[in-house]
């Protein structure tokens, strides 16, 4: 039986770290995008600095889009 080589990977889709064989990781990344992640473990997500800055920037931009419009409450009585 051949010894299976394990390597360290970080998935570019879900940003989870894996210590697994090349083939296993390849299988994961090929289905990761369409995968249902609702049962995946709550753990550390790994980002490069660039990805993290981009992610935060998107979050801030999303927040900016919330516009609270003041309105006059109609008199009903």
Q: Residue numbers of the site for Zn ion (CB under 5 A)?
A: 11, 13-14, 32
Contact 25, 9 (CB under 8 A): yes
From the CB of 40, what's the least distance to Zn ion, in Å?
8
- Which CB sits closer to Zn ion, 12 or 59? 12
Residues 38-55 as b/e (b if ≥16 CB within 10 A, e otherwise) read eeeeeeeeeeeeeeeeee
From the CB of 14, what's the least distance to Zn ion, in Å?
3
- Which CB sits closer to Zn ion, 34 or 65? 34
Q: Which residue is nearest to Zn ion (CB)?
A: 11
From the CB of 9, what's the least distance to Zn ion, in Å?
9
CA pair distance 71, 60, nearest whole angstrom: 25
């Amino acid at each position: 039986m051949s010894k299976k080589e394990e390597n360290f990977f970080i998935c570019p889709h879900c940003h989870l770290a894996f210590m697994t064989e090349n083939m296993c990781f390849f299988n994961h990344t090929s289905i990761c995008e369409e995968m249902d992640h609702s049962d995946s473990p709550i753990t550390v997500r790994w980002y490069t600095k660039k990805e993290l800055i981009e992610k935060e920037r998107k979050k801030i931009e999303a927040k900016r889009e919330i516009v609270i419009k003041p309105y006059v409450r109609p008199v009903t009585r």
